[in-house]
Amino acid sequence: MPKPTNELEFPVGFLWGSATAAHQVEGNNYNSDWWQWEHSDRRAEQLRKQNKKPEDYYSAEACDSYNRYEEDFDLLVELNQNAHRISVEWARIEPEQGRFDANEIGHYRKVLQALKRRGIKTFVTLHHFTNPVWFAELGGWEKNDNTSVFVKYASRVLAELGQWIDFVCIINEPNVYAGQSYVGGLWVPQRRNIFLAKTVELNMLDAHKRTYLSLKRLFPNIQFGSAHHVYKLDLQGVLKIFNGLADQFWYKRALDTQAKYSDFIGINYYTRQRMGLTSKRPYISKLPAIFKETDFGWEIYPEGLYQLLLQFKKYSKPVYITENGLADSRDVMRKDFIIGHLEAIHRAIQEGVDVRGYLHWSLLDNFEWAEAYTKEFGLVHIDRRNNFKREVRPSARIYAEICKTNKITAASEERVTHK
Ligand code: BGC
Closest Cα to atom 9 of ligand 1? 21
Query: How far apart are the C-alpha atoms of 391 and 376, rounded to whole Å?
Result: 13
> Which numbered atom of ligand 1 lies nearest the CA of 327?
5
Burial-class residue 182 by CB neighbours within 10 Å (0-12, 13-18, 19+). buried
The model's confidence at residue 1, banded by pLDDT at 50, 70 and 90, is low
Mean pLDDT of 110-123: 99
Q: Assess contact for 201 and 174: CB atoms under 8 A.
A: yes
140, pLDDT greater than 80: yes
Mean pLDDT of 127-147: 98
Mean pLDDT of 269-277: 92
Characterize 249-269 residue by residue with b for buried, 16 or more Cβ atoms within 10 angstroms of its Cβ, and e for exposed.
ebbbebbebbbebbbbbbbbb
- Of the listed ranges 26-30, 149-153, 231-235, 350-354, the one predicted with least confidence: 231-235
User: Ligand 1: distance of its center to the CA of 378 in Å?
Assistant: 12
Mean pLDDT of 78-101: 98
> Which numbered atom of ligand 1 lies nearest the CA of 369?
10
User: Ligand 1: distance of its center to the CA of 346 in Å?
Assistant: 23
